[in-house]
């Protein structure tokens, strides 16, 4: 057994430990053999998605009455971490499904929407979260997509950009403004299904990392959406977006610690096998110290992520801890994966070994679901209010 989530922390319950082991075994058997193929082809292998549903990682918090696992947010964090050790692309697919889409439905949807969409998300449908636009990234509330009332419907027009899971998703949560004169107080969340007339999944981005994960443009051209598809209150979409993203940041942080742990494990194995000057690289003190520093940073980041997740599960304020965890874990993932490439020497710079992919994948951690600078702004504002 590797030194990871199971052996590193004693705070995991037996149920949590067994769940993490199950996801880890699945990742090794079902995902690891196809990681590089999916990265090269920039697509999730189709037969993998039903297996993820069967495993239960696509419906972790959905109640059993809707066909879900009815487990905790913390279990989602464990699943995201374990999957990211092998492939961050699959990890983020599961992450967005759970920490953004499903959480949004559970926390904000009325009973009718829950009864309609949660059983689908629990069994075979993937969700996507449509907030970002070309002019609204960090300034998410500068979005220009509009929703005009039309009898029993709203007519949506606009374009979304950088939307994760777009190629695979059938259920989209789209944020649009019902009254631009009110600014962010006009933003409302709508459920849009793939088959709605005028709705189109556009160009897939050709990315540096997490290449199997689909990131696409969404085009809304007079899309007719029933009023009953509003999630939360009319004009309160900004609240839905903020609170959902606060939770989502813990998921991204979990992805980054998994990625870092995977990089460390590859580095340890390689330095044990690689010999120079008559002995294994790991026998050199300089290499030992680098591995020790990598492991220490990962452990610190993991504790921050788990702490944020536990606070969220206990219903306590977790926003500062979530931002800290995302900021720090993405920094750690970049440093650790980069060092893993260095420790592999020339091989690390080739696609023959997986560390170059993990290094590429790590770059997104500082960008999506709130850039590092946005996390620092959030943290600084909170501590300014906390300290007199």
- Cβ neighbours around 374 below 10 Å, total: 20
Judge whether residue 344 has pLDDT over 50.
yes
pLDDT at residue number 140? 82
CA distances from 255 to 37, 151, 187, 251, 279 (A): 21, 43, 29, 6, 34
Do 5-126 and 238-386 share a fold? no
Q: How far apart are CA 152 and CA 68, in angstroms?
A: 31
Burial 88-113 (b: 16+ CB within 10 A, else e): bbbbbbbbbbbbbbbbbbbebbeeeb
Would residue 381 be called left, alpha or beta, if left means φ above 0 and alpha means ψ between -120 and 50 degrees?
alpha
Q: How far apart are CA 141 and CA 186, in angstroms?
A: 10
Q: How far apart are CA 201 and CA 167, in angstroms?
A: 7
The H or E element spanning position 118 is helix 111-123
pLDDT tens per residue across span 158-187? 999 999 999 999 999 999 999 999 999 999
The CATH code of domain 128-235 reads 2.40.110.10
This prediction's pTM: 0.95
pLDDT tens per residue across span 88-119? 999 999 999 999 999 999 999 999 999 999 99
Which of the residues 81, 133, 217, 369 is marked catalytic? 369
Which CATH architecture is the domain 5-126 placed in?
Orthogonal Bundle (1.10)
pLDDT at residue number 7? 40
| Residue 137's pLDDT band (cuts 50, 70, 90) | confident
Judge whether residue 4 has pLDDT over 90.
no
Ranges of each domain in the chain: 5-126, 128-235, 238-386
CATH 3.30.470.10 assigned to 238-386: no
pLDDT tens per residue across span 61-92? 999 999 999 999 999 999 999 999 999 999 99
pLDDT tens per residue across span 41-50? 999 999 999 9
Mean pLDDT of all residues belonging to the chain:
96
Q: Any idea of the CA torsion for 197, 144, 248, 169, to the nearest 10 degrees?
A: 20
Mapping DSSP to helix (H, G, I), strand (E, B) and coil, where does residue 177 land? strand
pLDDT tens per residue across span 125-136? 999 999 999 989
Q: How far apart are CA 365 and CA 256, in angstroms?
A: 7
290 is catalytic: no
């Amino acid at each position: 057994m590797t030194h990871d989530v199971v052996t590193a922390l004693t705070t995991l319950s037996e149920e949590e430990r067994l769940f993490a082991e199950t996801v880890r075994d699945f990742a090794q058997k079902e995902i690891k053999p196809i990681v590089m193929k999916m990265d090269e082809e920039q697509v999730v292998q189709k037969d993998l998605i039903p297996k993820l549903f069967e495993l239960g990682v696509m419906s972790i918090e959905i109640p059993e009455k809707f066909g879900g696992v009815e487990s905790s947010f913390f279990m989602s964090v464990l699943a995201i971490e374990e999957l990211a050790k092998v492939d961050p692309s699959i990890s983020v697919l599961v992450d967005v499904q759970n920490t953004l889409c499903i959480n949004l439905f559970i926390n904000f949807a009325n009973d009718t929407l829950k009864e309609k969409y949660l059983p689908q998300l629990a069994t075979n449908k993937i969700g996507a979260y449509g907030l970002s636009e070309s002019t609204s990234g960090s300034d998410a509330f500068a979005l220009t997509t509009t929703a005009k009332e039309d009898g029993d419907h709203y007519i949506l027009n606009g374009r979304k950009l950088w939307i994760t899971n777009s190629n695979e998703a059938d259920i989209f949560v789209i944020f649009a403004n019902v009254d631009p004169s009110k600014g962010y107080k006009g933003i409302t969340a709508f459920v849009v299904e793939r088959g709605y007339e005028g709705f189109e999944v556009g160009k897939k981005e050709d990315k540096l990392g997490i290449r199997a994960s689909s990131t696409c443009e969404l085009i809304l051209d007079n899309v007719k959406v029933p009023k009953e598809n509003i999630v939360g209150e009319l004009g309160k979409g900004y609240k839905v977006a903020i609170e959902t993203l606060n939770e989502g940041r813990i998921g991204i942080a979990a992805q980054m610690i998994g990625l870092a742990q995977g990089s460390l494990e590859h580095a340890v194995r390689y330095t044990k096998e690689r010999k120079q000057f008559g002995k294994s690289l790991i026998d050199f003190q300089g290499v030992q110290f680098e591995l020790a520093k990598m492991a220490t940073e990962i452990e610190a980041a993991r504790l921050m992520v788990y702490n944020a997740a536990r606070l969220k599960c206990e219903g306590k304020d977790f926003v500062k801890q979530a931002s800290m965890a995302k900021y720090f874990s993405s920094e750690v993932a970049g440093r650790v994966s980069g060092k893993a490439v260095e420790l592999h020497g020339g091989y690390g710079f080739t696609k023959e070994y997986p560390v170059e992919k993990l290094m590429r994948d790590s770059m997104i951690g500082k960008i999506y679901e709130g850039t590092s600078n946005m996390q620092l702004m959030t943290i600084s504002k909170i501590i300014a209010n906390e300290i007199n």
